Amino acid sequence: MKAREMMDKNYLSVKAFDSIENVSKIMEDYKRFTCPVVDDNNKLIGWVTALDITKGLREGNDKISEIMHKPEETNALKEEDSARKAVLEVNEDRVLAIPVFDDNEILKGIIRSFDVIETFSELYETKVYKIYEAMQGQLKGVTWDELMKASAIVSTRTTGVKITPEEYDKNIHNATFGNAVWATGGLENFFVGLISVGEMVIARKIGQRRK
Amino acid sequence: MKAREMMDKNYLSVKAFDSIENVSKIMEDYKRFTCPVVDDNNKLIGWVTALDITKGLREGNDKISEIMHKPEETNALKEEDSARKAVLEVNEDRVLAIPVFDDNEILKGIIRSFDVIETFSELYETKVYKIYEAMQGQLKGVTWDELMKASAIVSTRTTGVKITPEEYDKNIHNATFGNAVWATGGLENFFVGLISVGEMVIARKIGQRRK
């Protein structure tokens, strides 16, 4: 995934000669806590946050140009950069938004912390049965019932709590990947569980083939 | 994972009778865009954002009590709530922070969008070889070399690009789960790849056992 695919193209921008008062109204109306400052060619020339605005208002400044940060002081990404870079920077530098540029330094979009969370959420909200369906598709000849039976056995063995194949089936239709990772205590554990199930049905499949 | 485990206990809070001017300075100093308002018992009685502060400063308000939102207007979680609820609310309502309470309605912590991103990032940044190690641990008797050989075959077959087991080994030491999910086009695809590898080494293992 590229920064280009994660960024919001409908960002709000202001001009250096705008008054702090007007920009504060715009940011309030659009509920934006940070805002890029651009020139007429949409080149980034500065950056303001709501906290720069509070300071500017308090100290009696007039224009955005008096309070804005320089572009060099903000994180910046290219459209072709990996989205992972955005995630790492938002996480490490705890910035609410990162501007994304094309090769001519023109501002093309903004990646906000919400865009990062949205991308993550999609992954986290993947239903577990979708992963089982993919598994069944790969393990040609294995039925859904066999998969549920093996899963119930593995689950009972791992947790010590008895569960029927029918209950397991119902559970994975409700559970998300995020639930499952947290419930099993981590990504590796989650995959180990799936691999155990795979191992069991594959062994059975190969056994039957040889009969 | 519970809300309790995701929340930041070292949150900043202010009082209703604090002046807007002072609170704005505090929020600037600590780089906080939102802030809970509590009473002497640490009960939440309001909530302010930097955008409430800009409006308050502009309109000449004096005390925080004049501009704060009521607790009913903010998202709220219990310590025992699922962390997933925090993720969904931050994502859907696009709030920067959610207060977390105990059963007596006392404020115990704040889950900020950064806390959500940090939790997600840990998962995303899991190195792929860790998943392979877990897989090897589960598939007793399978060597790392066998796993890499099978992976190189599956990868070459899937992508059409020839890769050696040594290159594959190197790749998964660099690649993260996030990279891999994006590179394969989704969680299900990533997992199908792992199952293909598992299928290959399990078939070989069972074959050898029967010799």
How do residues A48-70 score in pLDDT, each as one tens digit? 999 999 999 999 999 999 999 99
Task: Describe the crossing of helices B113-124 and A113-124 by its angle, rounded to 10 degrees.
Answer: 50
> CA–CA separation, A66 vs A113, rounded Å?
26
> Given an 8 Å threshold on Cβ–Cβ distance, is A121 in contact with B88?
yes
Distance CA B195, CA B187 (A): 12
**Beta pairing class for B44-49 and A97-101:** unpaired
Asked if A77 and A134 sit in the same domain, the reply is: no
On whether both B58 and B115 belong to a single domain, the answer is yes
Residues B100 and B161 grouped into a single domain: no
Q: Beta strand A77-78 with A97-101: parallel, antiparallel or unpaired?
A: parallel
Question: From CA A167, how far away is CA B142, in angstroms rounded?
Answer: 32
The verdict on A131 touching B (C-beta cutoff 8 Å) is yes
The beta-carbon neighbor of A134 closest among B58, B118, B192 is B192
pTM: 0.83
Q: For residues B138 and B197, state if they share a domain.
A: yes
In which residue are the tokens 């659009």 written? A30
Mark which residues 21-80 of A lie under 8 Å from B by CB: 21, 24-25, 27-28, 31, 33, 49-51, 53-55, 57-58
Q: What is the pLDDT along chain B (211 residues), one digit of tens a residue?
A: 889 999 999 899 999 999 999 999 999 999 999 999 999 999 999 999 999 999 999 999 999 999 999 988 888 999 999 888 888 888 888 889 999 999 988 999 999 998 988 888 888 889 999 999 998 988 888 899 999 999 999 989 888 899 999 999 999 999 999 888 888 888 888 888 888 888 888 877 777 766 5
Please indicate, yes or no, whether residues B117 and B135 belong to a single structural domain of this protein: no
CATH code of the domain covering residue B71: 3.10.580.10
Share of chain A above pLDDT 90, in %: 57
Scored b (16 or more CB within 10 A) or e, A193-203 reads bbbbbbbbbbb
Residue-level pLDDT at A80 = 93
d(CA A209, CA A52): 70
| Minimum distance, in Å, between the CA of residue B52 and any CA atom of chain A | 8
- Residue carrying the six token digits 């590898």: B197
For residue A209, the model assigns a pLDDT of 67
CB atoms within 10 A of CB B149: 19
- Mean of pLDDT values over A187-191: 88
> For A39-53, A64-78, A111-125, which range has the lowest pLDDT when averaged over its residues?
A111-125
CB contact under 8 A, A31 and B51: yes
Nearest chain B Cα to A137, which residue?
B192
**CA distance, residue A43 to nearest chain B CA (Å):** 26
CA atoms lying within 13 Å on the CB side of residue B60 = 0
Question: CB-based contact (8 Å) between A144 and chain B?
Answer: no
Q: Taking 90 as the threshold, does the pLDDT of residue A207 lie above it?
A: no
* Residue of B31, B54, B94, B129 to mutate when probing chain A, most A C-beta within 10 A: B54
Q: Are residues B129 and B118 in the same domain?
A: no
Sign of CA dihedral B29, B58, B107, B33: negative
Same domain (yes/no): A170, A100? no
Interface of A with B in 175-194 (CB under 8 A): 176-179, 181-182, 187-189, 191-192, 194
- Inter-residue contact B79 to B105 (CB < 8 Å): no
How many domains is chain A partitioned into structurally?
2
CA distance B40 to chain A (A): 27
State the nearest Cα–Cα gap between B131 and chain A, in angstroms.
5
pLDDT reported for residue B38? 95
Asked if B142 and B206 sit in the same domain, the reply is yes
| Chain B nearest-CA residue for A94 | B114
Tokens of residue A209, six digits: 């083939």
User: Contacts of residue B84 in chain A, CB cutoff 8 Å?
Assistant: 124, 176, 178-179, 182
Tell me which of B122, B143, B176 is where a domain ends: B122
Smallest Cβ–Cβ distance between B58 and the set A33, A57, A177 belongs to: A57
ipTM associated with this complex: 0.82
Of all residues in chain B, the one with the smallest CA distance to A130 is: B188
Are the beta carbons of B113 and A114 separated by less than 8 Å?
Answer: yes
- Average pLDDT, stretch A4-33? 95
* Cα separation, B28 vs A140, whole angstroms: 59
Same domain, B78 and B175: no
Three-state SS letters, B5-52: HHCECCCCCECCCCEHHHHHHHHHHCCCCEEEEECCCCEEEEEEEHHH
Residue that is last in its domain, among B122, B151, B185: B122
Question: Is A149 in the same domain as A171?
Answer: yes
Q: Which two tokens stand for residue A84?
A: 């992972």
Q: By the 8 A CB rule, do B144 and B201 touch? A: no
Contact between chains at B50 and A53 (C-beta distance less than 8 A): yes
Residue B118 sits in the same domain as residue B129:
no
Residue A198 has pLDDT above 90, yes or no: no
Amino acid at residue number B41 = N
Give residue B174's pLDDT.
92
As a whole number, mean pLDDT of residues A32-37 equals 94
Backbone angles phi, psi at B47, to 5 degrees: -155, 130
Bridge partners (DSSP) listed for residue B19: B63
Q: Are A6 and A86 in contact (CB under 8 A)?
A: yes
Final residue of a domain: which of B81, B107, B122? B122
Predicted pLDDT of residue B185: 82
Q: How many C-beta atoms lie closer than 10 Å to residue A106's C-beta?
A: 12
Number of other CB atoms surrounding residue B18 within 10 Å: 17
A67 and A19, same domain (yes or no): yes
User: Which residue range(s) make up the domain with B162?
Assistant: 125-210
Contact B57/A55, CB-based, under 8 Å? no
| Single-letter code of the amino acid located at A36 | P
